[in-house]
Amino acid sequence: MAIDYAERIPNNVNLADNRRLQRALESWQPKFQDWWMEMGPEGFQANEIYLRTAVSVDSDGWAHFDFVKMPEYRWGIFLAEPEADRAVNFGQHMGDPAWQEVPGEYRGMLRRIIVTQGDTEPASVEQQRQLGRTSPSLYDLRNLFQVNVEEGRHLWAMVYLLDAHFGRDGREEAEALLMRRSGDADKPRILGAFNEATPDWLSFYMFTYFTDRDGRFQLASLAESGFDPLSRTCRFMLTEEAHHMFVGETGVGRVAQRSCELMNEHDTDDLRPHGGIDLAILQKYINFHFSVSLDLFGGELSTNAANYFTSGLKGRFREIQIDDDHVLSDGTYRVIEPAQNAFTETDAPALTSLNERLRDAYIADCQRGLDRWNKVIAQHDIDFTFALPHRAFHRAIGLFSGLRISPAGEVVTQDEWDRRVDDWLPSDQDRAYVRSLMEPVTSPGLMANWIAAPARGINGQPIEFEYTKL
Ligand code: BYC
Ligand code: FE
Ligand code: FE
């Protein structure tokens, strides 16, 4: 399905045939552009960046690469191809034709899901807006901006749904998405992780590895939705999301690789004198970003999650591949709960434990990247392995929130926590050290000392290609 770039808002939803919707979106567009100039990447709005833009939503060949100034990026509305005769695939409406309009009784719930999803997109752009000034290479700088423009497009994707399907309150929510600000005490973003700072590039790679991966799992669950426009929107967003997680996985991997090279070169694991990042610091960053991202799945036991599922609004990860009744009225799921100074496993109702089930799939997926990073370490003959902390470590949402649990999963006293927290989470000193390494490198092909070069460039270009024209 071709995308119409002659329109003010590029789209493949025949926007020109719906004057009301077109007017609503065209009146939101300048507010988005104002937000982008105010809260988007600081200092690089006039530079030419080698960016990819969607030109069709086909699974192959949807991307086009060219030099673009970010404010001129063609943010648009792209839905994946409709599936013929698609049905609601789970919950109490299973077997009904998928909805093309919002079912009246689920309006409030659906709007809340869309707003929550939409809110994360501009939040991440706000969190990353200072990073351009300290990028380790032109290649990385271009990847940052690619992620940023696509998160901006994800905001468009949700605003389209709000404007197309929720009338006046949809328009109000669309404006509110541009009013909240990451980390602002008075008008914060909705979910915890999106109010944390992303102050350095190590945090950026960790964020794109762990937090964008929550996006992958949430979007995949929403792609199962019985509300077809949401499903189609999320299916296309997932194709963009893959690149964000690539940036995270290869980013952390390249830092680990460089650390190993410096350790072997200088025969020490203290890399501070050599301008590298200790593997122990990387582990602490993993602990932080993993635990903060686990919170994004919500409580272990959640009636919201049960209602989303029963209503047919939000499915499980790869719902239709699961071999069960897709109604879950009498199934159970194993959930780990805190108990007297330890943990117990209980069989909870499958419906209320859907958040935990999605979190389990996420944890398994996170581990795969750690395995690959550990391979890099092993290839350098270094005796160190990264590990994911226990799921109860450093949690702020759900059954474990407020408990003091070590990364290994031991219940500890507040005293012990206070004594050891700097071994488990990045200390002020660690963060200050990482920040001290963040000097921009702006010659094509050169990398900062603390990170290895990528294995290859973008879109078949060499690594020394001038990805960003400064
Ligand atoms: N922070 O029933 P519960 C992405 C609230 S990332 C703050 O246990 P529920 C991206 C919750 O709202 C993907 N509050 O949880 C990545 C509820 O409030 P009320 C984003 C939280 O509702 C990188 C209460 O606690 N997409 O795309 O089942 C860059 C009890 O909640 C948090 C989505 O999240 C938290 N972490 O599940 C760019 C998908 N967690 O009712 C983009 C849509 C929970 O007491 N969202 N609460 O006022 C959802 O499906 C659900 O809202 C959640 C929460 C899974 C997030
Ligand atoms: Fe996104
Ligand atoms: Fe993303």
Alpha carbon of 461 to ligand 2 centroid (Å): 25
**Helices marked H in 177-227 — which ranges?**
201-206, 212-223
**193 Cα nearest atom in ligand 1:** 36
- Checking DSSP bridges between strand 332-339 and strand 63-69, what pairing results, if any? unpaired
Confidence of residue 3 (pLDDT cuts 50, 70, 90): confident
Beta strands in 312-446 (DSSP E): 332-339, 342-349
How far apart are alpha carbons 235 and 232 in whole angstroms? Answer: 5
SS3 4: strand
How far apart are alpha carbons 188 and 195 in whole angstroms? Answer: 7
Contact call for residues 335 and 301 (beta carbons, < 8 A): yes
Contact call for residues 67 and 48 (beta carbons, < 8 A): yes
Give the homologous superfamily in CATH for domain 15-469.
Ribonucleotide Reductase, subunit A (1.10.620.20)
Alpha carbon of 189 to ligand 2 centroid (Å): 14
How far apart are alpha carbons 340 and 234 in whole angstroms? Answer: 42
Return the ligand number nearest the Cα of 247: 3
Count the alpha carbons within 13 Å of 342 in the hemisphere toward its beta carbon.
Answer: 2
**Residue whose CA lies nearest to ligand 1 atom number 5:** 298
**Residue whose CA lies nearest to ligand 1 atom number 17:** 298
Confidence of residue 259 (pLDDT cuts 50, 70, 90): very high
Q: What is the mean pLDDT of residues 101-121?
A: 98
How far apart are alpha carbons 87 and 105 in whole angstroms? Answer: 18
Q: What is the mean pLDDT of residues 412-433?
A: 98
Q: What is the pLDDT of residue 372?
A: 98
Please calculate the CA angle 365-230-356 and round it to the nearest 5 degrees.
Answer: 35
Tell me the average pLDDT of the chain. Answer: 96
**Residue whose CA lies nearest to ligand 1 atom number 13:** 215
Alpha carbon of 415 to ligand 3 centroid (Å): 38
Q: What is the secondary structure of 14-76 as a DSSP string?
A: -GGG-HHHHHHHHHHHHHHHHHHHHHSSTT-TTSEEEEEEE-B-SSSS-EEEEEEEGGG----
How far apart are alpha carbons 148 and 406 in whole angstroms? Answer: 34
By CB atoms closer than 10 A (0-12, 13-18, 19+), residue 23 is: exposed
Q: What percent of the chain has pLDDT over 70?
A: 99
Q: What is the pLDDT of residue 55?
A: 79
Q: What is the mean pLDDT of residues 308-331?
A: 97
Which residues make Cβ contacts (< 8 Å) with residue 446, sequence separation at least 6?
137
Q: What is the pLDDT of residue 59?
A: 66
Q: Is the pLDDT of residue 128 over 90?
A: yes
How far apart are alpha carbons 327 and 201 in whole angstroms? Answer: 43
Q: What is the pLDDT of residue 61?
A: 60
Provide the 8-state DSSP code for 94: T
Q: What is the pLDDT of residues 175-216, one digit of tens each?
A: 999 999 999 999 999 999 999 999 999 999 999 999 999 999
Q: Is the pLDDT of residue 1 over 70?
A: no
How far apart are alpha carbons 302 and 289 in whole angstroms? Answer: 23
CB under 6 Å to ligand 1: residues? 113, 116-117, 120-121, 124, 151, 191-192, 211-212, 214-215, 218, 295-299, 302, 304-305, 314, 355, 397
Q: What is the pLDDT of residues 66-82, one digit of tens each?
A: 999 999 999 999 999 99
Alpha carbon of 182 to ligand 3 centroid (Å): 16
Q: What is the mean pLDDT of residues 392-413?
A: 97
Q: What is the pLDDT of residues 129-148, one digit of tens each?
A: 999 999 999 999 999 999 99
How far apart are alpha carbons 393 and 423 in whole angstroms? Answer: 13
How far apart are alpha carbons 18 and 376 in whole angstroms? Answer: 53
By CB atoms closer than 10 A (0-12, 13-18, 19+), residue 461 is: middle
Sequence ranges of the domains in the chain: 15-469
Alpha carbon of 298 to ligand 1 centroid (Å): 5
Tokens (6 digits) for 17: 């045939």
